[in-house]
Structure 1
């Protein structure tokens, strides 16, 4: 189970023959319905099938795009949209940018792993953004992370060679290399990756030929993992450069928005946060005062209506409940809403207990929302505020007839 992509990870084109082609379906990684196409097996391939924590390659068979490559026993299965005739000689072309990125991340994990020892449980690339190593430890200190990053980058500067060996399954040398075991369906020679003076391990992935090809490794820190585990997040090679470019673009944008230098960004944002908190507090106080005034205005009328309806774009649940508390709900039925008048928002139905119990679920249904209530209050979220008029008509009919079936 050694393919040309593993013998020569730098090969970008390769001529081979089609062995078989059969109809199949592919379920896209991002979701959606299955894609109809064909599973193609070649005599050999430079397109790596996913495995060992490394994603699969992309490329072309002739001019036909390869959408997925998976391993099936000793075979690499290429999924394509067009049928290919068995026996046909074809030229494979590799998506080199994707491959080299994977090579750098995969090889970057190798000098990190032995330094972390038995704490390593697994490693995985996350899309095209970052990679993680899962550790069987609750934490790592900043000092440990800094020392590890410094050590690995020293090895990169020393241009440590990376070589590949193919050993027979019964070769005694296999016992001397680090391994997590072979797949149950493994056949053929065993592939061993040697990093001179650092590590020797079984691995199916594609690798650089010298640690200098990694350029640099940056440890971004740790994240809390599952069940008291820790995820060590890292970038290698071109991902470090892309991350730096993105950070620089963000820095330039913030400099323009905040009107100060990069060294003052944090303090400027803190000042803005303080201002926003103060504005929010003042706004909340104004809404509370407004709620009291709205309620008092209603109660000051010579003959208060049995139904009070109010909608405001600005507001929250507290705003509505203040109005309900101030007006009182023993005799008056209140229907209050806040939010966008045509989209989503919040609602409150308050009034006599029996009336609210009967009408609450119907109001929620009309507004396309959900709610709950007790003691004469029924409130919740609505997804269709444009139907407020229908709710008001229902409540008008009820207050006129005294029946929820009106």
Structure 2
């Protein structure tokens, strides 16, 4: 016998009895982190909460006031995971999270409709499908669909919705029933027991399925085929939204359009042209900024070289600089007797560093500088450079270098 949620997908609550309640653990994800919940596995005489299956996620809801965190199928029974003990044989009231359920009904029923028409119209069979949180996709046994096919498929799907065709389940007592041979199916689970449930879209198809569905295609409201993406070898994924998700998708698109209006200062149909123009302007500006940064590096080096009171130590930080900026300064100064300590990036955070000078000095001090900056570096031919995670420690490095000059007599 099918569960009440499979007999009437619009049933939102049910009074039933507890058959069993045993301690259990549930591996789940809360706020992106894996957690193990302590609780109980509860089997009821009947339920309005659908256990995951047929590509459809499980329902959420309550048993009395207790939250149901997961519903799975075990043979013909639905197993509910809760965190409160329930008395065996006690009468309970089961309610479903209707918003989640109806969304799943719309997406799953839309999948049946799109699958049936894609196969009838183009011969493309569905090999699997996925019901996601925002969009879903149907894996089709073809490498691609043309834009014309995509439009034709969407138009016909929505025409069937406007025709308000009935959609309903039918139970067959056994898988051996000869009429089962006429039904589209990908097979039954190994642990299936009891009657075989077939979902029918009147005049379109009959498909073996355990999921919850709308009673009429008009309840789908609309289906939007969003894109065709590359799938597994020889297949493609047809991405779609149905029902309330179409309105949600349209709402997100409108909010994005409003935000882009303030950036592009033009109508949506000109966004691509305006974005291309903005990108070209940005590249030109970046090129100019890079040229100015290189010129600045040369000027910094010349400023040091022409200073009559300069020492044999030069320290500089430039937030907007890069490795080339630092190397230009070293090359321009070009004095093996001068020790240069250069850094670029966020002076309070991470960036890059370069220590240059006499080879023996750099070999000695390079790793110490790297350690003080909590970074990683390498040395070669009088230069030691790398990444720094704590540029805030620059003063400590300068102290280290000054102390080294004093102790070695290198300072003038």
2:51 matched residue in structure 1: 49
Helix, strand or coil for the counterpart of 1:33?
Answer: strand
Helix, strand or coil for the counterpart of 2:102?
Answer: helix
Contact (CA 8 Å) 1:329, 1:350: kept in 2 or not?
A: no
Cα distance in 2, alignment partners of residues 353 and 229 from structure 1: 60
Cα offsets for 1:359-392 (capped at 9, x unmatched): 5454444333344564544444333222233333
Contact (CA 8 Å) 2:124, 2:142: kept in 1 or not?
A: no
**1:234-253 mapped onto 2 (5 Å cutoff):** 234-253=240-259
TM-score, structure 2 normalization: 0.88
Task: Extract unaligned runs of 5+ from structure 1.
Answer: none
Deviation of 1:220 (Å) = 0.7
1:255 matched residue in structure 2: 261
Deviation of 1:180 (Å) = 1.4
Cα distance in 1, alignment partners of residues 378 and 92 from structure 2: 65
Cα offsets for 1:181-222 (capped at 9, x unmatched): 211111111111112232222111111112111111101112
Deviation of 1:333 (Å) = 3.5
2:321 matched residue in structure 1: 315
Q: Which moved more, 1:132-141 or 1:148-157?
A: 132-141
2:142 matched residue in structure 1: 137
Cα distance in 2, alignment partners of residues 349 and 183 from structure 1: 66
**1:3-42 mapped onto 2 (5 Å cutoff):** 3-29=3-29, 30-42=32-44
Deviation of 1:303 (Å) = 6.6
Q: Which moved more, 1:139-148 or 1:276-285?
A: 276-285
- Over 3 Å counting, the alpha-carbon distance change for 1:287 and 1:57 in structure 2 is same
1:343 matched to 2:349: yes
Task: Extract unaligned runs of 5+ from structure 2.
Answer: none
- Over 3 Å counting, the alpha-carbon distance change for 1:322 and 1:198 in structure 2 is farther
Cα distance in 1, alignment partners of residues 129 and 406 from structure 2: 69
After superposition, the CA RMSD in angstroms is 2.6
Cα distance in 2, alignment partners of residues 21 and 103 from structure 1: 29
Cα distance in 1, alignment partners of residues 379 and 323 from structure 2: 13
Cα distance in 1, alignment partners of residues 397 and 141 from structure 2: 57
Deviation of 1:70 (Å) = 1.7
Deviation of 1:27 (Å) = 2.5
- Over 3 Å counting, the alpha-carbon distance change for 1:289 and 1:147 in structure 2 is same
Deviation of 1:275 (Å) = 3.3
Q: Which moved more, 1:269-278 or 1:336-345?
A: 269-278
Contact (CA 8 Å) 2:12, 2:96: kept in 1 or not?
A: yes
Helix, strand or coil for the counterpart of 1:69?
Answer: strand
- Over 3 Å counting, the alpha-carbon distance change for 1:289 and 1:83 in structure 2 is same
Cα distance in 1, alignment partners of residues 237 and 361 from structure 2: 55
Helix, strand or coil for the counterpart of 1:26?
Answer: strand
Cα distance in 1, alignment partners of residues 313 and 141 from structure 2: 63
Cα distance in 1, alignment partners of residues 379 and 403 from structure 2: 22
TM-score, structure 1 normalization: 0.89
Helix, strand or coil for the counterpart of 1:106?
Answer: helix
2:282 matched residue in structure 1: 276
How many aligned residue pairs are there?
Answer: 402
